[in-house]
Amino acid sequence: MKRLTRTLIRNNLIGSTRHFNCGVGLTGGVGHLSRTPIRSYYFTTSTSRLQDNHSSNNNEYQSLVFDQQQQKRSSSTSSSNTSPPSSSSTPTTGTPLIFELDMSNFENIVTKSKQPVVLVCYADWNSPSKQLVAALEDHARKNAGSLVIGKLNVDNNRDIAQSLQVQSLPSVFSLYGGKVLEHFATMPTKEVLDKFIDNLLLNDESNSSRKIIDTAESLFNSGQYKQALEVYQSLIHLQGCETIGLRGLINCAIKENNIIMLKELIEYTGSSDKFKSEMNTPLLIQAQRVVELSSEMTNNQDGETVESLVEKLKQDPNDLDTKYKLSLLYFQNEKTELAMQQLLDIIKIDKHYNEDQAKNLLFKIFDSMPSDPLVLKYRQRFSNIWFL
């Protein structure tokens, strides 16, 4: 036990209290984390002691998923494998690295692994932690040979759990090179968990795709969408990076308002067995709404101008057809807030105007710009009107 405690201190798993910033006040001591800058994610609030966390895990993800090299999986691999990964050689390609931890193998698996490690503390009686273990095992299979999942049953390993200062479940640490990078102590959404794994895998210098991804994201974040698009185009053909390439292309097409490319990408995604599950993600829904709005803008081109429609409304403020056309023109001219206000005005007068046409258009606009602060503002205004 003393040897384990020394190992934990040496690898920053215990020590001075410093929490991974989750956007909420997590309780319970966690070991001093890595000196590497800690990324911030938003989780639901954890509790100050071991108990079930009933947070929902239904949220769909929209962040980029870094699917590491997808090799042929070993059908005979057991999730209860307790053999530690070799610290001196690369494990067999295609073998999911999932280990049940105890005192005999903790140090080798958690602190000496050459691959990135996720240490998850769970209990059989704690449903959220069991769900999280299953989700992490899926990540281990997706990233076979590149990611280690170490599962610690706190009931069977109370000494280790106490040394880790685990005070709520599930509790998760990410490590690379024997150092803790990040920690959280609650049930994350799927989106957040995917991003957590992506960032961990990007620490692996053996990943030859890392520089390409960093280049693409840097170009995108600096507004150089055409250049970023070219780099993402190369990623979509690179094994293990197809998903991040696809999502990058879609994001670039949205930013460039390239409707033709968006249509092609949506069709490609829906027809591909590899990407078909992407069709239900917020990013693909956003892309579909952008295309639908573009089509509606095209159908609205009847020679009317904003000025002429405003003049009509002065004569008849309750002309809902004119208000609807005006909202489309406002949106087409990138006056989004004015467009949303016109649609709310229609809904105030007639909630079900033209078989919910105003409501449907408003929600298409919401879906086409999910991260815009205006969306939250006008969703609230819509709710105030709709549920009166």
Q: Could you tell me the two tokens for 127?
A: 């449903």
The 3-class SS string of 65-76 reads CCCCCCCCCCCC
For residues 177 and 110, the answer to whether their CB atoms sit within 8 Å is no
The residue written with tokens 């403020």 in the block is: 317
> Which class is domain 300-386?
mainly alpha
pLDDT tens, 131-183? 999 999 999 998 888 899 999 999 999 999 998 889 899 999 999 888 888 99
User: 299 by DSSP, 3-state: which?
Assistant: helix
Neighbour count for residue 77 (Cβ, 10 Å): 17
User: Is the bond preceding residue 188 a cis peptide, omega within 30 degrees?
Assistant: no
Whole-model pTM?
Answer: 0.51
Label the pairing between strands 148-153 and 97-100.
Answer: parallel
Query: 2-201: which CATH number, 3.40.30.10, 3.40.50.40, 2.40.10.340, 3.40.50.300?
Result: 3.40.30.10
Give the H/E segment covering residue 172: strand 171-176
SS3 181: strand
Averaged pLDDT, 281-310: 90
All structural domains of the chain with their residue ranges: 2-201, 210-275, 300-386
pLDDT tens, position by position, 94-137 = 688 899 999 999 999 998 888 899 999 999 999 999 999 999 99
Q: 232-241, 266-275, 318-327: which has the minimum mean pLDDT?
A: 232-241
